[in-house]
Structure 1
Amino acid sequence: LAAIIFDFRFTVNIYAALLFISILGTISVSTFGIFISSFGLLTRDINMLLSIAESVVFLFSGANFPVKRLPFGLNYVSQILPLSHAVSAIRLVVNGNIWYGLSLSCMEIAIGLIYFTLSILLIRFLERQARTRGNSDLY
C-alpha cells in the first residue's frame, strides 16, 4: 500500500523479503502476547498489563524513532523485545541490503521461539499450581 501511495519502485525480491519479515514480526509479537496474556491467570486486571506491554514493545521497537537515541541501557531492552529486529531488517531491505536484512530477521525468529517457550513453561507451571491448590484461577 505504501508503494502505491508513495510511488516506490521495488523488485519482486524486495517485496517478498518485506512480506517474509512482516510475517516473522507478526508471529514474534504474537508469541510475546501469549507470554504476557498467560499472566492473566495471576491478576484480575490483565487489560492494564497488556496495554503496558503494547506500549513498551512499540516504544522500544525503533519504528517511531531510532533505538540508538534511547538512554544508555534501554537500547539493550529493545534487543530482547519482539519487533525491534524486524523493523531494523525492514529498513535494511528497503535500502537494498536484502540478505543482511533477512539474516537479521533470524534474530526475530529466535526471540519468538524464546517467548513461545517461556509462555508454555509459565502456563504449565500455573496449571500445576492450580491443580495442587484445587482452583482454576490463581488470583
Structure 2
Amino acid sequence: MTDQNSAENPNMGHPLDIEDFTDMIGFANASAALEFLLTVKSGIRNTAMSLTECATPEVRTEVRNQLRQALDMHEKLSQLMIKKGWLHPYNPGEQFQLDVKSAQMTARLAQMPLFKDRIKVLETFDTPQKPN
C-alpha cells in the first residue's frame, strides 16, 4: 500500500510488514494485564489508607470488605500473569529479560510508519517556544 503524497511526507508510502505484528496480541494482553495489576495495587494502597480515615464502624467494615476484594483480585490477576508467563515475581532475572523485551517491542512500535505520519498533527498544537 502506497500513498500519493509520499513525496510530501517521506514516512508515508512504506508497506507494513506482517512480521512486525506477529507477537502483537500477546504483547497487548500482557500490557493490559500489567496495567490492570498496577491499577489494582494502587487501589489497594488507597483503600488501606482510607481505612484509617473511617469515622464509623459501619464505614470501616465496608472499606475492609472492599480491601479484601481488591486483595483477592490482586491474587487472582498475579496468578494468571504468572501462569501465562507475563510476570516473574520470584525470578528478577527473568522479569528483567521480559521487561527488556517489552521495551524493545514498544520501541519497534513507535518507529513504525503507522505512527510517524501523525507528527504533522502534533505540529498544529500550540507549544511553548524556546528563548533565543
TM bucket (normalised to shorter chain) is under 0.3
Q: TM-score, normalised by structure 2?
A: 0.28
- Greater percentage in helix: 1
Q: TM-score, normalised by structure 1?
A: 0.27
The structure number with the bigger radius of gyration is: 2
Greater RCO, 1 or 2 (C-alpha within 8 Å, sep 6+): 1
